[in-house]
């Protein structure tokens, strides 16, 4: 029997970010955070890689200074006011819900179809990292 591939668990907005962020050179948080993030991006290079949508922190949040290991929530995005707004907006845009599964290949197609080469609104209201992560460039390469 073949070895089953590990499913990646991602929160809503990381479905987008993980497809466009360039974390080479460890530009944010810590080398450990970036190395972990790259590991999942490499797995997602396989279009058949399965991804499960989770409601709070997923695999790519590990080692972030805002990751609350006790309850699995993000100190920036998962508490009121605006708890989970960033994720819910992205899930709506991609026609996905918490608990859904999607392959990496299908996810890329949905991102291209929904956003084209224009960054989502969250990149302006919720995040200040575009200039160091070159997300716009990454989006054009999808
Ligand atoms: S800031 Fe929050 S959502 Fe972003 S990586 Fe850290 S824990 Fe995850
Ligand atoms: S700018 Fe921020 S929110 Fe937008 S894709 Fe990059 S990391 Fe994600």
User: With 60 as the cut, is the pLDDT of residue 1 above it?
Assistant: no
- Per-domain residue ranges of the chain: 8-140
- Residue 61 Cβ inside 6 Å of ligand 1? The answer reads yes
pLDDT for position 30:
98
The rounded percent of the chain whose pLDDT value lies above 70 is 98
Please enumerate in sequence order all residues whose Cβ is within 8 A of that of 86, keeping only pairs 6 or more positions apart, or say none: 12, 13, 77, 122, 126
Contact assessment for residue 38 and residue 127, using Cβ atoms and an 8 Å cutoff: no
Q: Find the 82 Cα to ligand 2 centroid distance in Å.
A: 17
pLDDT by residue (tens digit) across 78-127?
999 888 999 999 999 999 999 999 999 999 999 999 999 999 999 999 99
Q: What would the two tokens of residue 42 be?
A: 């490499």
pTM to 2 decimal places:
0.96
Return the residue whose CA atom lies nearest to atom 7 of ligand 2.
17
Check residues 81 and 63 and name the one with the higher pLDDT: 63
Query: Which residues face 68 on adjacent strands?
Result: 73
Closest CA to 83 of 121, 123, 55, 120: 55
Phi-psi region of 47 (alpha: psi -120 to 50; beta: other; left: phi over 0): alpha
pLDDT for position 81:
86
User: With 60 as the cut, is the pLDDT of residue 2 above it?
Assistant: no
State mean pLDDT over 56-64: 97
Question: Mutation test of ligand 1: which of 57, 62, 89 has the most ligand atoms closer than 8 Å to its C-beta?
Answer: 57
Weakest-pLDDT range from 43-52, 72-81, 95-104: 72-81
Q: What would the two tokens of residue 92 be?
A: 């709506």
- Residue 57 Cβ inside 6 Å of ligand 1? The answer reads yes
Phi then psi dihedrals of residue 82, to 5 deg: 70, 25
d(CA 122, CA 64): 19
d(CA 75, CA 72): 10
């Amino acid at each position: 029997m073949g070895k089953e591939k590990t499913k990646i668990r991602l929160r809503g907005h990381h479905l987008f970010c993980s497809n466009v962020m360039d974390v080479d050179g460890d530009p944010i948080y810590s080398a450990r955070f970036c190395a972990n993030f790259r590991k999942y991006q490499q797995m997602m290079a396989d279009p058949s890689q399965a991804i499960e949508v989770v409601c709070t922190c997923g695999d790519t949040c590990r080692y972030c200074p805002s990751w609350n290991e006790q309850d699995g929530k993000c100190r920036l995005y998962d508490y009121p006011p605006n708890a989970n707004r960033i994720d819910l907006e992205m899930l709506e845009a991609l026609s996905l819900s918490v608990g859904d599964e999607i392959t990496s290949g299908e996810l890329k197609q949905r991102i291209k179809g929904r956003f084209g080469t224009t960054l989502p609104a969250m990149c302006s209201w919720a995040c200040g990292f575009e200039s160091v992560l070159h997300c716009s460039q990454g989006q054009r390469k999808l």
